[in-house]
Chain A
Amino acid sequence: MAIYSLANRTSNVTISTATFELIAAASIGYRLLEFGFTINTATTSVFGLGTPAATGITPTTPVTVLAEDGGNTTAGNSTTALAWGTAPTVPTNFYRRVTSPATAGAGIIWTFPRGLTVLKTKSLILYNITVTSVADVWIVVDE
Chain B
Amino acid sequence: MARYSTGFVAQRHVQSDVILQPIFDVRPSATDYPRIVSLDFYFCNEPNNALNIAIGLSSSPGTLKTTAATLVPHGPNDPATSVIIGTDWFVDPGLPVSFFRRVTIPGITTVSFFLDLKAGISLGPTQTISCWGSLLASATGPLVTEVSIEVDV
A residues whose Cβ falls under 8 Å from a Cβ of B: 3, 5-9, 33-34, 36, 38-40, 63, 66, 68-72, 103-107, 135-138, 140
A7:B107 contact, CB within 8 angstroms:
no
Other-chain contact of A105, B104, B117, B121, B127 (Cβ < 8 Å): B104
Q: Nearest 5 pairs between A and B by C-beta?
A: A105-B106, A71-B124, A7-B102, A104-B50, A7-B99
Whether A3 touches B118, Cβ cut-off 8 Å, given contacts A66-B98, A71-B124, A138-B100, is: yes
The prevalent SS among residues of A at the interface is: strand
Whether the Cβ atoms of B122 and A71 lie closer than 8 Å is yes
Residue positions of B touching A, CB distance < 8 A: 33, 50, 52, 54, 56-57, 98-108, 111, 117-125, 127, 136
Give every chain B residue within 8 A of A136 (Cβ-Cβ): 52, 102-104
The secondary structure that dominates the B interface is strand
For B121, the chain A residues whose CB sits under 8 A away are: 5, 68-70
Bound-complex Cα distance A136 to B103 (A): 6
Q: How far is the CA of A104 from the CA of B117 in the complex (A)?
A: 23
What A residues does B122 contact at CB under 8 A? 68-72
